[in-house]
Chains A and B, each alone.
Chain A
Amino acid sequence: MTQLVWNGLFVGSFYALVALGYSMVYGIIKLLNFAHGDLYMLGAFSGFAVLSALGGVSAAMTLPVLLAVLLLTMVSTGLAGVVLERVAYRPLRGAPRLSLLITAVGASFAIEYGMRIVAGPDPQVYPVRLSGTAFEVFGASLTLPQLVLIGVAVVLMVGLHLLVAKTREGRAMRAIALDPRTSSLMGIDVNAVISRTFFIGSALAGAAGVMAGAYYGKIDFLMGFLIGLKAFTAAVIGGIGNIPGTMLGGLVLGLLESFGTYWLGGEWRDVFAFGVLILFLTVRPTGLLGERVTERV
């Protein structure tokens, strides 16, 4: 049982990291950024490129090197997110939401198949891999890299929460989420704040991408599709637009999948997880922690 919980939390922390970017962007400009999963893929590939360029890394240095690569990747993926917003979404700022949604789908394909041209269709394997011997805690076997990855995810999530809740920048984001026009009248540079939001959200997805690459080892140009979908589900379960809710949603989805597999068998897992998504959309569309909004724009 504890093993199931642990498996669920581990997978769930990846979902949560990716879902945060989804949720922040939706919270601020009400855009479902379908290209978000592909930023996760971009992160995995940019980490791969850096590590390959470094050549061999000695076993003792694996973790520090990976952390450095993680930071580097977060910056580069964050910038990619900013470029994406500037090129694909900003020109459509006043356009109907449907146009934005279609652009997002187009951007997603452009990134996926652009990467296919650059890196080729074959899956790539990370030159550095995290592995460790398993040890038992309360009957669940877990490894040191798993603990480190969860630790990194928690640090990133807490940092994000502090940023949004306590800083000037965070206040500006929340103000735009409430009312972009009034915010701009109050002297907030709306476009700049949106750019920075994309930067942060994309950086988190990129971090998740590197972590997945280093832990699981295999990356390919379509790896972002499924996790993008899962992250969306996690965001809806937790309350899209709400940051603590989204983190919770990621973990809940991970646990749902883990227990769904155990109770119903592997072929029913996605039926179970996405069934819960439908249930949430009908019964509680605002998610676990989302606030009920009387008027939706």
Chain B
Amino acid sequence: MRKTHILSLAVTAMMLAGCGQGLLGNGGGAQDEAKGPIRLGMLVPQSGSEAAIGPYMTNAAQLAIDEINAKGGVLGRQLQLTAADDACDAQTAVAAANKVVTEGVEVSIGGYCSGATLPTLPVFGKANIPMIIPAANSQELVDQKLKHVFLINGTGTQQAEAAGKWIAKQGATRVALMHDNTSYSKDIAVRTQPMLGDKAVITEAVTPKESDYSANIHNVLQKKPDFVYWTGYFQEGGLIIRQLRQAGFKGSIMVGDGSVSAKLGEIAGPEVDGVFATMTPIPDTLPDAKGWIDSYTKKFGSAPGPYSNQAYDAVRLAAEAISKAGSTDSAKVISALEGINGFTMFSGPLKFTPEHTLSAGGFQILVWKGGKFALQDALS
């Protein structure tokens, strides 16, 4: 009984797939499937050390979904967000991935911490779910060349290039790199080092979630650097900036995109003034995002933050790919994504490279001035 059931399902599925490619190419497959909503899965940290980021991303995704649904949805179906908490932790992330897969998501649009996103790749891969990763950007995510994985944030390599350019422009001669040993952070530091050649005097790893980094800072300052580049997240970043200055460091400090948060300044205190950051466009530095920021603020009662724009774009991109593919069939959505050329996003027109990353990373240099990050140099 059970066997025949599965068999008939398989036959139906084959027929459906056949239909999609054949006569009813325009959305035929989707019409025959359930009329329920298209679920988009989103794993972001809602608890743990990076919990502050989660709402920025889920809110922005919800905003995009509401806008698309108001225009009639995709292929006549409504979009629905299925968010789950990955706590920026590998084990929690895998459990959350399995959960959203069971709930029947069609496309994954989440992923903030690279270390937590990496182990979810095979979970979504096995379930044939395309992944549009809005924020996580370690090179390791695309190193395996998985067909279903797309990054719409600049990669570690692109960020390292931007960092290298800016450090050279600043004329720094002795550069210290500091990272927190997570996949994301170490990736940037390791890729920045060759850009600097013998100007990189030390690469120091710290233990995240601590309060006292005096021992690490002692190591760094012994090498007498004139430029420190921290590639980890904002909680440690704020403490490190403060402790570097208290220990008498007078040179420039730069942080990576994981540290771009208003909290960085609060934690670091007045010492944060003049700190540089490598970052993809944020709502504040986007020239034409004023209306978007207003509608976000109106809807959620607070301003958008880091990665709000990428999460918003991930939803729009998923909707675009599904409607181009004419179905939610994984293979078709993936080839639709690969075929996208010039889709307008906050970061500019989109075209994926063969390894499914942005053809232009779009990293800029921000500087902390007057209580927030502002654009310093677009590096273009």
Contact yes or no, B52 A116, CB < 8 A = no
Q: How far is B207's CA from A175's CA once the two chains are assembled, in angstroms?
A: 41
Q: Is A267 an interface residue (CB 8 A)?
A: yes
CB-defined interface of B336-368 with A at 8 Å, one 1/0 digit per residue? 000000000000000000000000000000000
Q: Which B residues are in CB contact (< 8 Å) with A222?
A: 48-49, 209
A220 near B49 with CB under 8 A, answer yes
Chain B residues with Cβ below 8 Å from A131 are: 246, 269
Q: Is A18 an interface residue (CB 8 A)?
A: no
Min CB–CB distance B95 → chain A (angstroms): 16
Is B248 at the interface (CB under 8 A from chain A)?
A: yes
| Complex partner residue of A261 from B211, B215, B269, CB under 8 angstroms | B215
| CA gap between A129 and B242 in the complex, in Å | 11
Are the C-beta atoms of A125 and B218 separated by less than 8 Å?
A: no
**Could you tell me if B51 and A121 are in contact, using CB atoms closer than 8 angstroms?**
yes
Question: Is A232's beta carbon under 8 Å from chain B?
Answer: no
Chain B residue nearest in CB terms to A273: B207
A106 contacts the other chain (CB 8 A): no
**Complex CA distance for A266 and B266, rounded to whole angstroms:** 26
**B49 partner residues in chain A, CB cutoff 8 A:** 220, 222
B167, CB-defined interface residue at 8 Å:
no
A212 touches B211 (CB 8 A): yes
A129 to B245, CA, bound (A): 15
Cβ–Cβ < 8 Å partners of B181 in chain A: 267
**Bound complex: CA A257 to CA B206 (Å):** 12
A-B contact count (CB 8 A): 93
Q: Are A11 and B235 in contact (CB under 8 A)?
A: no
Give the distance in Å from the alpha carbon of A84 to the alpha carbon of B263 in the complex: 32
Residues of A within 8 A of B335 (CB): none
Report how far A3 CA is from B263 CA in the complex, Å: 30
A276 CB, min distance to chain B CBs, angstroms: 15
B48 surroundings in chain A (CB, below 8 A): 121, 222
Q: Are B214 and A11 in contact (CB under 8 A)?
A: yes
Size band of the B side of the interface? 20 to 34
Which secondary structure dominates where chain A touches chain B?
Answer: helix
Contact with B along A194-231 (1 / 0, CB 8 A): 00000000000000000010001110101101100000
Q: Is A110 an interface position by the 8 A CB rule? A: no
A216, A223, A262 interface centre (most CB from chain B within 10 Å): A216
A143 within 8 A of B: yes
**Chain B 261-278, CB within 8 Å of chain A: the 1/0 string?**
001001101000000000
Residues from chain B with Cβ under 8 Å of A123 in the complex: 52, 235, 263, 267
Closest CB in chain A relative to B202 CB, distance in Å: 9
User: A33 an interface residue at 8 Å Cβ cutoff?
Assistant: no
User: Which of A141, A218, A226, A265 contacts B204 (CB under 8 A)?
Assistant: A265
**Given that A217-B267, A266-B207 are known contacts, is A261 also in contact with B248, CB under 8 Å in the complex?**
no
Q: Does any Cβ of A come within 8 Å of B216's Cβ? A: yes
Q: Which of B51, B218, B247 contacts A122 (CB 8 A)?
A: B51
| Inter-chain contact B47/A116, CB cutoff 8 Å | yes
A226 proximity list for chain B (CB < 8 A): 207, 209-210
A258 on interface, CB distance cutoff 8 Å: yes
Q: Is the CB of A217 within 8 A of B269?
A: yes
Point out the residues of chain B lying under 8 angstroms from A122, CB to CB. 51-52, 263
Kindly list chain A residues whose C-beta atoms are within 8 Å of the C-beta of B218: 3-4, 7, 258, 261-262
A125 near B215 with CB under 8 A, answer no
Q: Please indicate which of the listed interface residues A113, A225, A261 has the most CB atoms of chain B within 10 Å of its own CB.
A: A261
Give the docked Cα–Cα distance between A73 and B209 (Å). 23
Cβ of A250 to closest chain B Cβ, rounded Å? 13
Contact check, A261 vs B266: say whether CB atoms are below 8 A apart.
Answer: no
> Which of B205, B211, B239 is A266 in contact with, Cβ under 8 Å?
B205
Instruction: Evaluate contact between B248 and A216: CB separation under 8 angstroms.
Output: no
Q: Are A266 and B242 in contact (CB under 8 A)?
A: no
Listed from nearest, the 5 A-B pairs whose CB atoms lie closest are: A121-B51, A267-B205, A261-B215, A216-B211, A266-B205
Which residues of B come within 8 Å of A, CB atoms? 46-49, 51-52, 54, 181, 204-207, 209-212, 214-216, 218-219, 235, 238-239, 242, 246-248, 263, 266-267, 269
Interface residues, chain A, with chain B CB atoms under 8 Å away: 3-4, 7-8, 10-11, 14, 113, 116, 121-123, 125, 129, 131, 134, 141, 143, 212, 216-218, 220, 222-223, 225-226, 257-258, 261-262, 265-267, 269-270
What are 8 A-B pairs with beta-carbon distances under 8 A?
A125-B267, A131-B269, A141-B247, A143-B246, A217-B267, A258-B218, A265-B204, A269-B207
